[in-house]
A and B are shown apart, each in its own frame.
Chain A
């Protein structure tokens, strides 16, 4: 099936997929609007502070004199980019490590998997806080993305490894070896297509995971607060006691948008999972009777 047909099929038959596409579509439009922002995102006191939502400022303004709507567009863009960057980098790591570990076996597998298990059991949150306290000002947005992707590959590497371990015993792998294909060729051409659906589905979960952690860290002030992100907005709102001061819109809108992102990604991952699992796909196609 071509990609377009798969998408059409999913849109027609999967409510989760439709919901996910709508929610993420809204979030993506918001992020795209950031390029049309009339105010530079880092400037403060460009508008009157603490104005409730109105026609001039749809989502109101902050106590720092920023327009919440336009601030939010930039924040969503950065947060999404963060999630995608982490997911992309950690997918590369988990693919490379999972494929090699599963295919090579032996001591290479043992070394890689003990490394993998180490990363699985490390408590991430305290570790990230530690990174922040050690690095302080050098802990930029990009740096955090890099660190998170180095921490986020382990589960999926194990998943990919298990798939490759079974693929390795299959006849087409043996034929490939007999034909003189190199390990790289076998992994890239014969095994990658088997693994990619899993990678797609775990990407969504990984974006969710990284955004969640980023928001948590920023809200608590353990990141670089100068790059506007959703967590960063909530952090500044808390710093200005927005809830106490009655500036609810400063917190409510960022929270609403991040919840939309979460639910959207979760729905996509769910529908992808169901699509990839042939049993559930079958039951869906035959009207849930199987």
Chain B
């Protein structure tokens, strides 16, 4: 990038020095590389993403389908299998010093870190429990190896944890089909948090449940996060969930982070045109003006548009947007945006 970054207010470093990041992602590039019958395709699902999740916060990652959110969580959890490839960048976990992410850590390190330090509430978390095994067996299968406890000690720990999560101990003898969807989801969150991990990655934790159950589950995530002092990386397209839960919010579009800031700041004063559209599409009680959709569809990441990837759909697009990738510029405390239109000083 030719232009120096325009710094408007206090640098991020000063503000956040006391709050060490649990994970900081630096220039991460994760591409899908396929070769079908000689037709090579390179899908830039995550392209040059930089952010950090600090201790004791819920960091939300938002964006439409195909924005690269799930690829990012896959990369963070180390589930990198072909055709997904890490092309560049580093992921530094506070509990895994000296490596550039789980995908390149030695297997014993990976199994030491997973569940104990890094836990994962996956998409469709209701089906995490094996339908033909009792809930207790699922706890034993998945969590026992990470606890370094005797069988009896483990059993006591599970009961204590369930009590903390306000779940009845008798769910342990139930089969998953005997429980409601919300109950199963809460159990799988209990399962993921039993080792009190430093970082919990939650990928669409509340899809497929109704709003009432959703509220319960989200409250449970919030209270357990507060209680354990862990950090949560919350990935969902649902801005309502972010408004309810996230402390800071990163907006992803077409594999890139376009805006990042405190949730209330982003929700109240979005800067990036994409974020503005995203926020303005939210429904508000009492406001019955029709919502305008964004023209066009997300870009094809196998052949992304040059420059800013949002420019074909952007109402503010300028010439420079078609040529250059906008750098991040800082807008107030903890708020940064990558857009030439709203930060003229970033233009080359």
Do residues A190 and B122 form an inter-chain contact, with CB atoms below 8 A?
no
From B130, B138, B146, residue with most partner A Cβ within 10 Å: B130
Do residues B142 and A179 form an inter-chain contact, with CB atoms below 8 A?
yes
Closest residue of chain A to B115 (Cβ to Cβ) is: A179
Do residues B124 and A171 form an inter-chain contact, with CB atoms below 8 A?
yes
Contact of A178 among B115, B130, B132 (CB under 8 A): B115
B234 on interface, CB distance cutoff 8 Å: no
Do residues B122 and A193 form an inter-chain contact, with CB atoms below 8 A?
no
A175 on interface, CB distance cutoff 8 Å: yes
CA distance A5 to B319 in the complex (A): 75
The proximity string for A residues 154-187 relative to B, scoring 1 for CB distances below 8 Å and 0 otherwise, is 0000000000000000111011111111000100
Do residues A175 and B128 form an inter-chain contact, with CB atoms below 8 A?
yes
CA distance A185 to B144 in the complex (A): 13
Question: Chain A contacts of B129 at CB under 8 A?
Answer: 172
B77 on interface, CB distance cutoff 8 Å: yes
Do residues B115 and A180 form an inter-chain contact, with CB atoms below 8 A?
yes
Do residues A179 and B128 form an inter-chain contact, with CB atoms below 8 A?
no
Question: Chain A contacts of B122 at CB under 8 A?
Answer: 171, 174-175, 178
The proximity string for B residues 191-220 relative to A, scoring 1 for CB distances below 8 Å and 0 otherwise, is 000000000000000000000000000000
Closest residue of chain A to B191 (Cβ to Cβ) is: A175
Closest residue of chain A to B118 (Cβ to Cβ) is: A178
CA distance A190 to B115 in the complex (A): 18
A170 with B111: in contact, given A190-B133, A193-B132 (CB under 8 Å)? no
Question: Chain B contacts of A174 at CB under 8 A?
Answer: 122
Contact of A172 among B110, B114, B127, B146 (CB under 8 A): B127
Interface size of B by CB at 8 A reads: 25
Query: Majority SS of interface residues in chain A?
Result: helix
A189 on interface, CB distance cutoff 8 Å: yes
Do residues A180 and B114 form an inter-chain contact, with CB atoms below 8 A?
yes
CA distance A193 to B129 in the complex (A): 13
CA distance A177 to B128 in the complex (A): 12
B120 on interface, CB distance cutoff 8 Å: yes
A194 on interface, CB distance cutoff 8 Å: yes
Question: Chain A contacts of B123 at CB under 8 A?
Answer: 171
Question: Chain B contacts of A190 at CB under 8 A?
Answer: 130, 133, 141
The proximity string for B residues 126-148 relative to A, scoring 1 for CB distances below 8 Å and 0 otherwise, is 01111111000110011101100
Contact of A179 among B114, B124, B132, B133 (CB under 8 A): B114
Interface size of A by CB at 8 A reads: 16
Question: Chain B contacts of A172 at CB under 8 A?
Answer: 127-131, 138
Min C-beta distance of A171 to chain B, whole Å: 4
Min C-beta distance of A201 to chain B, whole Å: 16
Closest residue of chain A to B130 (Cβ to Cβ) is: A172
From A170, A178, A181, A193, residue with most partner B Cβ within 10 Å: A178
B79 on interface, CB distance cutoff 8 Å: yes
CA distance A193 to B130 in the complex (A): 10
Closest residue of chain A to B192 (Cβ to Cβ) is: A175
Do residues A171 and B125 form an inter-chain contact, with CB atoms below 8 A?
yes
Min C-beta distance of B220 to chain A, whole Å: 18
Contact of B141 among A170, A171, A189, A194 (CB under 8 A): A189
Question: Chain A contacts of B133 at CB under 8 A?
Answer: 189-190, 193
Do residues B143 and A179 form an inter-chain contact, with CB atoms below 8 A?
yes
Min C-beta distance of A196 to chain B, whole Å: 9
Contact of A176 among B110, B141, B146 (CB under 8 A): B141
Min C-beta distance of B133 to chain A, whole Å: 6
A-B contact pairs, 22 of them (CB 8 A): A170-B127, A172-B128, A172-B129, A172-B130, A174-B122, A175-B120, A176-B141, A176-B142, A178-B79, A178-B122, A179-B141, A179-B145, A179-B146, A180-B111, A180-B114, A180-B146, A181-B141, A181-B142, A189-B141, A190-B141, A193-B130, A193-B133
7 closest A-B pairs by CB = A180-B111, A179-B142, A171-B127, A193-B132, A172-B130, A171-B128, A175-B128
Sample of 17 further A-B pairs with CB below 8 A, known A178-B122, A185-B141: A171-B124, A171-B125, A172-B128, A172-B138, A176-B142, A178-B115, A179-B115, A179-B143, A179-B146, A180-B111, A180-B115, A180-B145, A181-B141, A181-B145, A189-B133, A193-B132, A194-B132
